A and B are shown apart, each in its own frame.
Chain A
Amino acid sequence: MAVVTRDGEAAGPAAGTSRPAAVSRFYTGMLNLEWLTKAWWTILSISLFAGIWELCWAFGWADPKLLPPPHIFLGNLAEQGKFFNTATRWQVGQAMNAGPSAFESVMITVGATTARVFVGLAMASVLAIGMGVLIRYYHFFDKLVLPTITLLSPVSPIAWLPVAIFLFGIGNAPAIFMVVVALFFHMVLATVAQIDGVSPNFINVARTMGASKRQIYGRVIVPAILPGMLQVLRLNLFGAWMVVLVAESTGVGYGMGQVIMLARNTFNPSLVFFTIAVIGVLGFAFDWLLRQAQRRILYWLPDTKEKLRGL
């Protein structure tokens, strides 16, 4: 009898291991499929938009000199690339055709702008979250700085542009300063709002367990506001992309904003749309990355989106 039972048990786990493996393989397949459909929808959405534009051109409604359709402004990468990374080209003693190739120029410019966006966003986040937590942690700090922050937060980034130049001249510093100053005040207010939205029950639980003020902030409030803060970060990523172009148009050596400015001054609509396309793709890619990070970090959030879709 005993032997039979033991055999039965031995067979059990063996069957158990093969099945989850099959199930998980099935799921990976499903996930890939989901990914593919998502990609298809993205392509469809963009094609539809581009297609309408191309049709307008084909019917002669859109003047190719003012609104060149995608096949024109994307058609000649080498030509467009010439206008990127102007930094080395205009230097004395440089031949017109020396320096990096068109593709390299685009990459250098894109890299420079992206770096400014990220440094600015990171600095703004750290400063703003720190400030928001301090405001709620120390009551006197709240009274001391919150009025000023509220006062400054509606100021348009354009208004900061001269300040950036007075303080930092030209180069990377004013562009990054612009990104930081454009995001900082909103992000402080958003952090404070997130903290105020934490369920009082969570705080009460920690208090009854004898948690100190510091422990309540570190172990309850910070994890509780994390989902909201990542959302804030995502929205501000777009904000950073918008501001950086304004900042770069003033002269930073090279950057996407500078290219747009050049296109405007030389009346080159193709170059404008080409730059817009590049920015769009970059923004999309980074938003996707941030969403992935959000999914990893915030594993505990309920999937409301799925529920809404099922309605």
Chain B
Amino acid sequence: MAFDAPPTFSSKDAVVCRGVGKTWAAGTRRAHNALTGIDLDVAPGEFVVFLGPSGCGKSTLLYLIAGLEDATEGQLWSFGDLVDTPSPERSLIFQETSLFPWLTVWENVSFGLSIRGAGKEERRSVAAEALQRVGLKAAMDKRPDELSGGMRQRVAVARALAMRPKVLLMDEPFAALDVQTRARMQDFLLDVWRDSGASVLFVTHHIDEAVALADRVVVFTSRPGRIKTIVPIDLPRPRNLFSREAEELRIRLTDLLRDEVDRAFAEQEALAVTA
């Protein structure tokens, strides 16, 4: 090649991964291959759930798609553009709480708008609407440290929604919630997803949650993370989660996941013996 033209990808899919891998601390003694050989296409408006044993690289993949970290193998595209920096079109909800303690709840939610230079009126009204959707409008003027863990996570969801992203990346957003709140948040997320037409990539450890939400479930192998299988969930929406089909899917996913978790633990024990 005469010059390094930026690689392009013709597909207008929301997310395209080709041979994507990530080695943390590459080139050092502490190098750790977290993820390798990921090929994945996510259509616009699709709901994809990532399922896999702890430490298999699900968060890492979301970081790569968000553009927060550079892939050490392969390349990613979003709507035909190479992913090399973060973009407000791809919002990430982090696994750990990440609200700014020096801002009130509504200022946190409208942080992205203030970056764009929006006025206070607009910011407050957008924040109010987003908080309304997560049932926290009353907590608008509170500070994050006055909220419970689950409430903080809902504020983080509202903050991501306020950006009106085309791709919503969610890293175990409902892990800290009780069963009832979680169910409500799932319904609410499905509403938002339908209204916005955004693609959602959602990490969870709960098989029920995967079956309730996903168009497709991506099951990962343990270290380094690879795609083991992709299970389509062809249940009509709104879903009856007590149907026989739903039950069969849950059993299938449980089996797939159990094999991987067993393998991960066996590997760890083998490592402990040799060490």
Chain A: residues with CB nearer than 8 A to chain B? 199, 201-202, 204-211, 215, 219-220, 223-224, 226, 299-302
B221 at the interface (CB under 8 A from A): no
Alpha-carbon separation in the docked complex, A223 to B163 (Å): 22
User: Closest B-chain residue to A226, C-beta based?
Assistant: B102
Beta-carbon contact of B145 and A300 below 8 Å: yes
B55 at the interface (CB under 8 A from A): no
Beta-carbon contact of B112 and A202 below 8 Å: no
**Which of B14-22, B43-51, B86-94, B257-265 makes up part of the contact surface?**
B86-94
User: Closest B-chain residue to A216, C-beta based?
Assistant: B115
Beta-carbon contact of B90 and A300 below 8 Å: no
Alpha-carbon separation in the docked complex, A224 to B88 (Å): 22
Beta-carbon contact of A208 and B92 below 8 Å: yes
Chain B interface residue count, Cβ-Cβ cutoff 8 angstroms: 24
Identify which of residues 141-170 in chain B touch chain A, using a CB-to-CB cut-off of 8 Å. Answer: 143-145, 163
User: Closest B-chain residue to A207, C-beta based?
Assistant: B86
Alpha-carbon separation in the docked complex, A199 to B88 (Å): 20
B101 at the interface (CB under 8 A from A): yes
Identify which of residues 62-95 in chain B touch chain A, using a CB-to-CB cut-off of 8 Å. Answer: 66, 68, 85-88, 90-92, 94
**Can you report 28 residue pairs joining A to B where beta carbons are below 8 Å apart?**
A201-B94, A202-B98, A202-B100, A204-B66, A204-B68, A204-B92, A204-B94, A205-B94, A205-B98, A208-B90, A208-B92, A209-B88, A209-B111, A209-B112, A209-B115, A209-B163, A210-B87, A210-B88, A210-B115, A210-B116, A215-B115, A219-B114, A219-B115, A224-B100, A299-B143, A300-B101, A300-B102, A300-B144
B267 at the interface (CB under 8 A from A): no
Alpha-carbon separation in the docked complex, A207 to B114 (Å): 13
Beta-carbon contact of A201 and B96 below 8 Å: yes
In terms of DSSP, what is the predominant structure of the interface of chain B? loop
Q: A220-B100, A302-B145 are in contact. Are A208 and B68 (CB under 8 A)?
A: yes
Alpha-carbon separation in the docked complex, A223 to B145 (Å): 16
User: Closest A-chain residue to B100, C-beta based?
Assistant: A202
Alpha-carbon separation in the docked complex, A223 to B68 (Å): 22
Q: A202-B98, A223-B100 are in contact. Are A300 and B143 (CB under 8 A)?
A: yes
User: Closest A-chain residue to B163, C-beta based?
Assistant: A209
Beta-carbon contact of A208 and B91 below 8 Å: yes
Instruction: Give 10 nearest A-B pairs by CB, closest first.
Output: A209-B112, A210-B88, A201-B98, A207-B86, A300-B101, A223-B102, A208-B86, A211-B115, A205-B98, A208-B92
Alpha-carbon separation in the docked complex, A201 to B144 (Å): 15
- Chain B window 32-56, contacts with chain A (Cβ cutoff 8 Å), 1 for yes, 0 for no: 0000000000000000000000000
User: Closest A-chain residue to B89, C-beta based?
Assistant: A210
Alpha-carbon separation in the docked complex, A226 to B111 (Å): 19
User: Closest A-chain residue to B162, C-beta based?
Assistant: A209
Which residues of chain A are within 8 angstroms of B143 by Cβ–Cβ distance? 299-300
Beta-carbon contact of A208 and B88 below 8 Å: yes
Distance in Å: Cβ of A271 to nearest Cβ of chain B:
48
Beta-carbon contact of B98 and A204 below 8 Å: yes
User: Closest A-chain residue to B116, C-beta based?
Assistant: A210
User: Closest B-chain residue to A211, C-beta based?
Assistant: B115
Distance in Å: Cβ of B65 to nearest Cβ of chain A:
11
Which residues of chain A are within 8 angstroms of B85 by Cβ–Cβ distance? 207
Distance in Å: Cβ of B118 to nearest Cβ of chain A:
12
Query: Which of B87, B88, B92, B101 has the largest number of chain A CB atoms within 10 A?
Result: B101
Distance in Å: Cβ of B175 to nearest Cβ of chain A:
16
Q: A201-B94, A215-B115, A300-B143 are in contact. Are A208 and B100 (CB under 8 A)?
A: no
Which residues of chain B are within 8 angstroms of A210 by Cβ–Cβ distance? 86-88, 112, 115-116
Alpha-carbon separation in the docked complex, A189 to B114 (Å): 31
Alpha-carbon separation in the docked complex, A215 to B111 (Å): 11
Distance in Å: Cβ of B139 to nearest Cβ of chain A:
15
Alpha-carbon separation in the docked complex, A208 to B92 (Å): 7
Which residues of chain B are within 8 angstroms of A205 by Cβ–Cβ distance? 94, 98, 100, 111
User: Closest B-chain residue to A298, C-beta based?
Assistant: B102
Which residues of chain B are within 8 angstroms of A204 by Cβ–Cβ distance? 66, 68, 86, 92, 94, 98
Which residues of chain A are within 8 angstroms of B101 by Cβ–Cβ distance? 300-301
Q: A201-B96, A300-B102 are in contact. Are A206 and B111 (CB under 8 A)?
A: yes
Alpha-carbon separation in the docked complex, A37 to B68 (Å): 52
Alpha-carbon separation in the docked complex, A226 to B103 (Å): 13
Distance in Å: Cβ of B22 to nearest Cβ of chain A:
15
Alpha-carbon separation in the docked complex, A78 to B120 (Å): 60
Which residues of chain B are within 8 angstroms of A201 by Cβ–Cβ distance? 94, 96, 98
Distance in Å: Cβ of B80 to nearest Cβ of chain A:
19
Option from B102, B115, B116, B144 in Cβ contact (under 8 Å) with A206: B115
Alpha-carbon separation in the docked complex, A265 to B68 (Å): 66
Alpha-carbon separation in the docked complex, A224 to B96 (Å): 17
